[in-house]
Amino acid sequence: MAGKDGCVLGIDVGGTSIKAGLMTVGGEILDTTKIPTGEIVSDAAYQEITNGLSTLVASAGYTGSDVVALGLDVPGPVDDQGRVGFFANIELDPDGLRSALLEAFPASRLAFVNDANAAALGELWKGSAKGIGSFALVTLGTGVGGGIVIGGKLVSGAFGAGGEIGHITVKPEGEERACGCGRHGCLEQYASAKGLVWLYRQECRRQGVEGVKVEHDTDTLSVFAALKAGDECAETAVIKMCEYLGYALAQLSVIIDPAVFLIGGGVAGAFDAFSNKLAASFRAHCLSTSSAARILPCSLGNKAGMYGAAYAGLQEAGLA
């Protein structure tokens, strides 16, 4: 039976599909759905999405008018006014989608939020950062993303680049490879899945050994398995990754000085294998006054974005 407070939708917008969660305003997930998408720029495409969401809402006994808030996390910049910037990897007209959604769910307020920022809000609402007003989240995945929360509010930035932690420069000199952003020596080049695999292969070359078989450019599982088995090159690669990441956390520390750093993303599946090395690196680089900052793993996995998007919608509606 549908609750009287209405419901909220948290929507992950990906490259080929949308994943949506229907929740109570208290954040209990009632049901989820996945809607395949192509380019999201036409009335037909918006209609498919609103139809899929309406079915989800109806399945829990709600009507479209019971949706009080909805949030969409998107793989691109969203600034502090909620304006959506350019997307590198998906075709999406945010204004068209917004209009269609507000027509289908007329009682709702809507928020767009960057995907890594959504993960931070999700962890704040339901995960490792519950009760922690100020923290920085770093997601170590294919790339390195991040989200910063201060006083319970996301720092989106004037141009949507708030929390772009993957683009902190950690090696200002001597990096010949360019980062995806066009700059050189970004954290993402060393602490993403791709970065760690690159560090491993580089160390194998340097030592003139073959190393373990790495399946693909982001196969960190093989690197961490090798680490566990005592592979010296894997040890060096993980130490280097932690050296760069700890250095970046120390830069965050002299700027926003959070009580907690949260580590998420696929690479954080191996958190226990590198957390001590990371903590040591952070403490070697930070101001002594901030050395008690804690480094914790995220706890919501790939549900963080869905929770965070819903929470952003609730904040927009004045309900959180």
Residues near its own copies (CB under 8 A) are 77, 80, 85, 134, 148, 150-151, 153, 155-165, 167-173, 181-183, 247, 250-259, 285, 287-290, 292-293
Q: Of 41 and 159, which CB lies nearer to its own copies in the complex structure?
A: 159
Three-state DSSP state, 217: coil
Structure tokens, 160: 């949507």
Whether the CB-CB separation of 116 and 161 falls below 8 Å is answered with no
Q: Of 44 and 292, which CB lies nearer to its own copies in the complex structure?
A: 292
Q: Which amino acid is at 165?
A: I
**Cα distance between residue 291 and residue 27, in whole Å:** 34
Q: Which amino acid is at 318?
A: G
Least spacing, CB of residue 171 vs its own copies, in Å:
8
Least spacing, CB of residue 206 vs its own copies, in Å:
18
Closest alpha carbon to 126 in 8, 222, 258, 268: 8
Q: Of 105 and 244, which CB lies nearer to its own copies in the complex structure?
A: 244
Q: Of 209 and 284, which CB lies nearer to its own copies in the complex structure?
A: 284
Residues near 95 by beta carbon (within 8 Å), at least 6 away in sequence = none
Parallel, antiparallel, or unpaired for β 67-74 and 7-13?
parallel
Least spacing, CB of residue 145 vs its own copies, in Å:
11
**Cα distance between residue 245 and residue 188, in whole Å:** 9
Q: Of 105 and 247, which CB lies nearer to its own copies in the complex structure?
A: 247
Structure tokens, 127: 């995960």
Which residue spans within 45-158 are E strands per DSSP?
67-74, 109-114, 135-140, 144-150, 153-154
Least spacing, CB of residue 244 vs its own copies, in Å:
10
Least spacing, CB of residue 181 vs its own copies, in Å:
6
Least spacing, CB of residue 55 vs its own copies, in Å:
37
Q: Of 34 and 294, which CB lies nearer to its own copies in the complex structure?
A: 294
